[in-house]
Amino acid sequence: MTTATIPGVGRVPRKYVPVLVTAVLFLVMFAAGGIRYEDFATGQIILNVFIDNAFLLVVAVGMTFVILTGGIDLSVGSVVALSTMVAATLLKHGWSPWLVILIVLLIGAVLGLGMGAIIHYFEIQPFIVTLAGMFLARGLCFTIDTESISIDNSTFVGFAQTRIDLGGEMWVSPSVLIAVAVVLVAAYILHYTRFGRNVYATGGSEQSALLMGLPVGRTKIAVYTISGFCSALGGMLLSFYMLSGYGLHAVGMELDAIAAVVIGGTLLTGGTGFLLGTVLGVLVLGLIQTIISFEGTLSSWWTRIFIGLLLFVFILLQRLFSARSRQ
């Protein structure tokens, strides 16, 4: 196993280096914010990042599965928006909230399954198929309604207003617990099941995986189904957060999810990465937004600028480590 020397840490396996870099970046940003802003360096600030980005974390988990196989899913933001629209419309017509949630999750999984099947059986690039899925889902939003639909269902409102006290004046929303549960389940699947090993093997070398007799086709279809399911679940969490359905919700979320996964150290070419890195990537994105909010004088567009710079840096790091590992 190739290793790298990190000052103050020693020699560590090279595959862990990107995650460590992301963790150090998060700690440095948090410390800098604590020095510059009053009441910044508190536990609730970190919890607020989770609260405000629980839906993005769930979507990024699904994206991690896809990118680990060497694929990409550009449809996730549109599926999130479609999920909010379907949920808001059905609730407006008096449907049971639990049935609505089930239907929305099923729709997301079926969309992901369809895209995965097209990618595998017709051998079309994931970029093209999921781009079509993005336009399809976003278009379906506006066939339902062109305006925002508010959600006043008592179950959804009660869920949105619930606070779970952690002691010491710290709290989280139920959405955070759902997101953490998704991360734990996904981490177990990736690292302790045969399917997880197939995901890594497919991303490492699809041809080699085929020669080993691994079910590459089923694996690729499954990861897009998981991504669709996670996008729908993320849409449900966004519905709880916004209490509305709107066709323009989650515009650009697919790019945020990809950014979180890449900043978290997962290789775009597949085969290498950890869900912990994805969690850290989401935290870094959320902390950038929090710092800009505390600054008060910067436009929200600076968030995009900083994310873009981070992406350049981490993609260059990926290229550097990949080149060294081949030497």
Band (pLDDT 50/70/90 cuts) for residue 297 is confident
Q: Is 147 a member of any domain? A: yes
Q: Is 6 a member of any domain? A: no
Q: Is 8 a member of any domain? A: no
Q: Is 1 a member of any domain? A: no
**Exposure string for 133-168, b = 16+ CB within 10 A, e = fewer:** bbebbbebbeeeeeeebebebeebeebbeeeeeeee
Beta strands at 3-6 and 149-150: parallel, antiparallel or unpaired: unpaired
How many other CB atoms are there within 10 angstroms of residue 315's CB atom? 14
Between 89 and 42, name the one with better pLDDT.
89
State the total domains in the chain: 1
Is 1's pLDDT higher than 60? no
Q: Is 3 a member of any domain? A: no
Q: pTM value?
A: 0.94
Least confident of 109-113, 283-287, 299-303, 307-311: 299-303
CATH code at 235? Answer: 1.10.3470
210-223: pLDDT as tens digits? 999 999 999 999 99
Q: Residues 18, 23, 28, CA angle at the centre, nearest 5°? A: 125
Q: Is 9 a member of any domain? A: no
Q: Is 5 a member of any domain? A: no
User: Which residue range(s) make up the domain with 252?
Assistant: 14-326
